[in-house]
C-alpha cells in the first residue's frame, strides 16, 4: 500500500487542528503497510514533556561538559533511525495533557484531556498493552514518577480520571502486567490509603515479587512478576539523587529499564515495555533547568540501555519520543551565551531542593551564601530581597502543577536566566510538534509527519497482531 495512505491526509488537514482537533484519521491498522520484518519485542520510550529545546540543551550540555554527543542525537548522526515530527493534540484541545497523549498511543484514539482511553460517549478503547498481553507477550512499564501516573496508565487501563491512582493500582494487579516499576507507595500501602486496602498484598497473591530499593533490582527472581515501588510519590530528580546520599537507594531509569528487559527478554512470545522519563515534564513545569537537563540525560542513558539490547537482539522495535512539549525552554542570544550556559555545570541540586531549604528567618547574607554554594551565582541585594519576599509573605506564592509547597520557581528561574542564558515561555504544556525516532523492524513504516495515534497502529502492524 502507498505510504501516503498512512498519513491519510494529515499534511493537508493538520492546520485544521488549530480550530477543531477532530479525528480525521481512520484509526485503523489497515492503513499502514506491512513491515519487512516482524518485531518480536517493542520498547516505547517517552521523555514526558520534552520540548525540542530540552533535547537540544541536554545534547549541548553533553557535548560541552561531558565531551560527547548524547545517545539520542547519535542515533540521528549515525542514521540508525527513521525520524518524524508528530502532532500531539488531544480530542479537546490543540494542547494535550499526559493522559490524553498516552491514550493516543495506548488506545489509538484521541480522547479528552484528563481521561484514559475513554471516548466522548463513554466508549472504552482497549489499551495497547492489553492487546499485546492477550497475544501472549509479556508486558511492562517503568517510570520515574508514580507507576499509576497518566503515561504508564494510558498504555494499560481505561479510566474516567487520570487522578484515580488508587483504582489504577488495583487495576494493574487485576490485569497482571509482568513488570511495573516506579514510585507511588501511597497507592499500594494500606497505611497510606484512606480505604486501608493493602494492594501490595493483593499483588503478592497474584504472584508478584515486591521490590523496594535499588539493591532489590539485583535480587529479582527471573520468571516471576515484578512490582517495584521505590518511593512515596515520584522518584527523586537525577541530580539530587547523585548528590544527596539518602536518595541513592532509588534506582535510575536506565537501571529499571535493564531489569525490566532482563525479566522479560527470554519469553518465547516476546515482550512490550514502556519506559518513561516522567520528571522531565515536572522539571519543565518548574522551569528548573538543572532538574530538566539531568533528567533528560538520565533518559538518554536509558536509550543506550535499550539500543544496546536491541542491536544484539535484532528483533526489537524501539520508539523514542515525547507526549508533548512543555514550557519550550531554549538558549538566548548574547555575547556570553556559551559561557553562561556552561555555568549550569556548577549547579549541584535542583531548584526544588535549593528553594525548599530557604526559610523566612534567613537574612540577606544567608540566602546569598546558599545560592552561591549551590549554583555559584552571586545574587545582587535586590535579587536576594525579592527571593526572600516569597518566604516572608510579602509576595504571592507561586503556583505550578507539581509545586505543592508553592515555591518561587518562576522568580528564581528569572534570576538564573541572567546568568545561564536559558529562557522559558511558560510553566505548562505546549502544542508544538515533537520528535519521533524509530529503530529496528518496522522503522520503515514511519513517514516524516504523523499524528500521535498513528504510533498505536504502527506498533500493532510491526508486531503483527
Per-residue pLDDT of 222-260, as tens digits, reads: 989 999 999 999 999 999 999 999 999 999 999 999 999
Question: Which residues in 413-434 are b (16+ Cβ under 10 Å) and which e?
Answer: bebbbebbbbbbbebebbbbeb
> How many CB atoms are located within 10 Å of the residue 20 CB?
8
pLDDT confidence band for 129 (50 / 70 / 90): very high
Establish if 430 belongs to a structural domain: no
Q: What residue ranges in 117-195 does DSSP mark as E strands?
A: 138-146, 179-183
Establish if 71 belongs to a structural domain: yes
- Distance from C-alpha of 205 to C-alpha of 70, rounded to nearest angstrom: 42
Task: Give every CB contact of residue 228 below 8 A, 6+ residues apart in sequence.
Answer: 142, 179, 180, 181, 182, 210, 211, 212, 216, 217, 251, 256, 259
Establish if 75 belongs to a structural domain: yes
Same domain, 42 and 94: yes
Q: What residue ranges in 63-102 does DSSP mark as E strands?
A: 82-87
The catalytic residue positions are 98
Please state the separation of Cα 96 from the chain's center in Å.
14
Q: What are 81-125's pLDDT values in tens digits?
A: 999 999 999 999 999 999 999 999 999 999 999 999 999 999 999
Q: What is the CATH number of the domain that holds 22?
A: 3.40.720.10
Task: Tell me whether residue 294 is annotated as binding.
Answer: no
Task: Tell me whether residue 267 is annotated as binding.
Answer: no
pLDDT of 20 > 50? The answer is: no
Task: Give every CB contact of residue 414 below 8 A, 6+ residues apart in sequence.
Answer: none
Determine the structural domain holding residue 336 and report its residue range: 330-423
Task: Tell me whether residue 323 is annotated as binding.
Answer: yes
pLDDT confidence band for 31 (50 / 70 / 90): low
pLDDT of residue 401: 80
Task: Tell me whether residue 178 is annotated as binding.
Answer: no
Task: Give every CB contact of residue 246 below 8 A, 6+ residues apart in sequence.
Answer: none
Phi first, then psi, for residue 218 (nearest 5°) are -75, -15
Q: Is 318 helix (H, G, I), strand (E, B) or coil?
A: strand
Task: Give every CB contact of residue 222 below 8 A, 6+ residues apart in sequence.
Answer: 262, 263, 266
Number of H helices, E strands in the chain: 20, 14
pLDDT of residue 4: 41
Write 262-266 long-range contacts (CB < 8 A, 24+): 262/220, 262/222, 263/138, 263/140, 263/178, 263/179, 263/220, 263/222, 263/223, 263/226, 264/138, 264/140, 264/178, 264/179, 265/41, 265/309, 265/313, 266/222
Same domain, 241 and 382: no
Task: Tell me whether residue 149 is annotated as binding.
Answer: yes
Name beta bridge partners: 46.
276, 321
C-beta of residue 403 within 8 angstroms of C-beta of residue 283: no
pLDDT of residue 22: 36
Q: What are 295-329's pLDDT values in tens digits?
A: 999 999 999 999 999 999 999 999 999 999 999 99
C-beta of residue 150 within 8 angstroms of C-beta of residue 168: no
Please state the separation of Cα 358 from the chain's center in Å.
29
Q: What are 371-427's pLDDT values in tens digits?
A: 999 999 999 999 999 999 999 877 766 767 888 888 999 999 999 999 999 999 999
Q: What are 429-438's pLDDT values in tens digits?
A: 999 999 999 9
- Distance from C-alpha of 383 to C-alpha of 363, rounded to nearest angstrom: 13
Establish if 266 belongs to a structural domain: yes
- Distance from C-alpha of 85 to C-alpha of 88, rounded to nearest angstrom: 10
pLDDT of residue 392: 85
Mean pLDDT, rounded, for 342-370: 97
The answer to pTM > 0.85 is yes
Q: Is 376 helix (H, G, I), strand (E, B) or coil?
A: coil
Q: What are 189-207's pLDDT values in tens digits?
A: 999 999 999 999 999 999 9
Same domain, 106 and 247: yes
**DSSP symbols for 204-226:** HHTTEEEE-SHHHHTTPPTTSEE
Establish if 192 belongs to a structural domain: yes
Query: Which class for 290: exposed (0-12), middle (13-18), buried (19 or more C-beta within 10 A)?
Result: buried
- Distance from C-alpha of 226 to C-alpha of 209, rounded to nearest angstrom: 5
Task: Give every CB contact of residue 102 below 8 A, 6+ residues apart in sequence.
Answer: 46, 116, 150, 151, 152, 153, 154, 155, 323
Q: What mean pLDDT value characterizes the chain?
A: 93
Same domain, 203 and 312: yes
pLDDT of 8 > 60? The answer is: no
Give the position of cell 514526558: 48
pLDDT of residue 397: 67
Same domain, 447 and 414: no
Same domain, 294 and 359: no
Q: What's the number of CA atoms in the CB half-sphere (13 Å) around residue 422?
A: 28
C-beta of residue 45 within 8 angstroms of C-beta of residue 257: no
Task: Tell me whether residue 429 is annotated as binding.
Answer: yes
pLDDT of residue 402: 85
- The sheet with strand 179-183 has its strands ordered as 208-211, 225-229, 179-183, 138-146, 271-277, 41-47, 316-321, 434-439, 82-87, 449-451
Same domain, 456 and 414: no
Number of structural domains, the chain?
Answer: 2
Same domain, 296 and 384: no
- Distance from C-alpha of 316 to C-alpha of 439, rounded to nearest angstrom: 8
Same domain, 173 and 287: yes
Phi first, then psi, for residue 179 (nearest 5°) are -140, 120
Same domain, 297 and 408: no
**Four-point Cα dihedral 297, 303, 305, 310, nearest 10:** -170
Same domain, 229 and 364: no
C-beta of residue 125 within 8 angstroms of C-beta of residue 454: no
Establish if 291 belongs to a structural domain: yes
Establish if 428 belongs to a structural domain: no
C-beta of residue 341 within 8 angstroms of C-beta of residue 331: yes
Amino acid at each position: 500500500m502507498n505510504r501516503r495512505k498512512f498519513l491519510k491526509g494529515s499534511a493537508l488537514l493538520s492546520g485544521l487542528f488549530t480550530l477543531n482537533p477532530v479525528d480525521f484519521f481512520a484509526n485503523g491498522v489497515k492503513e499502514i503497510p506491512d513491515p519487512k520484518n516482524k518485531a518480536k519485542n517493542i520498547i516505547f520510550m517517552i521523555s514526558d514533556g520534552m520540548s525540542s529545546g530540552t533535547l537540544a540543551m541536554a545534547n549541548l550540555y553533553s557535548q560541552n561538559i561531558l565531551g560527547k554527543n548524547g545517545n539520542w542525537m547519535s542515533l540521528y548522526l549515525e542514521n540508525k533511525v527513521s525520524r518524524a515530527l508528530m502532532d500531539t493534540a488531544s480530542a479537546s484541545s490543540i494542547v494535550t495533557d499526559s493522559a490524553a497523549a498516552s491514550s493516543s498511543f495506548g488506545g489509538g484514539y484521541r480522547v479528552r484531556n484528563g481521561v484514559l482511553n475513554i471516548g466522548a460517549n463513554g466508549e472504552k478503547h482497549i489499551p495497547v498493552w492489553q492487546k499485546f498481553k492477550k497475544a501472549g507477550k509479556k508486558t511492562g512499564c517503568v517510570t520515574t514518577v508514580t507507576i499509576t501516573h497518566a503515561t504508564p496508565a494510558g498504555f494499560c487501563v481505561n479510566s474516567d480520571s487520570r487522578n484515580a491512582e488508587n483504582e489504577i493500582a488495583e487495576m494493574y494487579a487485576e490485569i497482571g502486567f509482568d513488570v511495573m516499576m516506579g514510585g507511588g507507595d501511597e497507592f499500594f500501602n494500606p497505611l497510606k490509603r484512606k480505604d486501608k486496602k493493602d494492594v501490595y498484598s493483593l499483588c503478592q497473591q497474584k504472584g508478584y515479587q515486591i521490590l523496594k530499593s535499588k539493591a532489590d533490582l539485583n535480587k529479582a527472581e527471573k520468571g516471576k512478576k515484578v512490582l517495584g515501588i521505590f518511593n512515596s510519590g515520584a522518584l527523586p530528580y537525577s541530580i539530587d539523587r547523585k548528590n544527596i546520599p539518602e536518595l541513592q537507594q532509588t534506582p535510575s531509569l536506565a537501571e529499571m529499564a535493564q531489569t525490566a528487559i532482563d525479566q522479560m527478554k527470554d519469553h518465547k512470545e516476546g515482550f512490550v515495555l514502556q519506559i518513561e522519563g516522567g520528571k522531565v515534564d515536572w522539571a519543565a513545569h518548574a522551569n528548573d533547568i538543572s532538574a530538566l537537563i539531568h533528567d533528560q540525560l538520565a533518559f538518554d542513558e536509558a536509550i543506550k540501555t535499550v539500543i544496546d539490547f536491541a542491536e544484539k537482539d535484532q528483533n526489537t522495535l524501539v520508539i523514542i519520543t515525547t507526549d508533548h512539549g512543555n514550557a519550550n525552554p531554549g538558549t538566548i542570544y548574547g555575547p556570553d551565551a556559551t559561557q553562561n550556559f556552561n555555568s549550569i555545570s556548577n549547579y549541584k541540586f535542583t531548584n526544588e531542593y535549593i528553594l525548599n531549604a530557604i526559610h523566612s528567618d534567613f537574612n540577606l547574607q544567608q540566602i546569598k551564601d546558599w545560592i552561591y554554594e549551590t549554583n555559584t551565582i552571586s545574587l545582587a541585594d535586590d535579587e536576594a530581597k525579592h527571593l526572600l519576599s516569597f518566604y516572608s509573605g510579602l509576595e504571592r506564592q507561586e503556583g505550578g502543577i507539581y509545586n505543592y509547597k508553592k515555591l518561587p520557581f518562576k522568580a528564581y528561574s528569572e534570576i538564573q536566566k541572567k546568568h545561564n542564558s536559558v529562557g522559558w515561555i511558560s510553566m505548562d504544556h505546549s502544542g508544538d510538534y515533537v520528535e519521533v525516532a524509530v529503530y529496528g523492524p518496522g522503522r520503515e513504516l514511519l513517514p516524516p509527519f504523523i499524528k500521535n495515534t498513528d504510533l498505536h497502529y504502527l506498533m500493532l502492524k510491526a508486531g503483527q497482531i
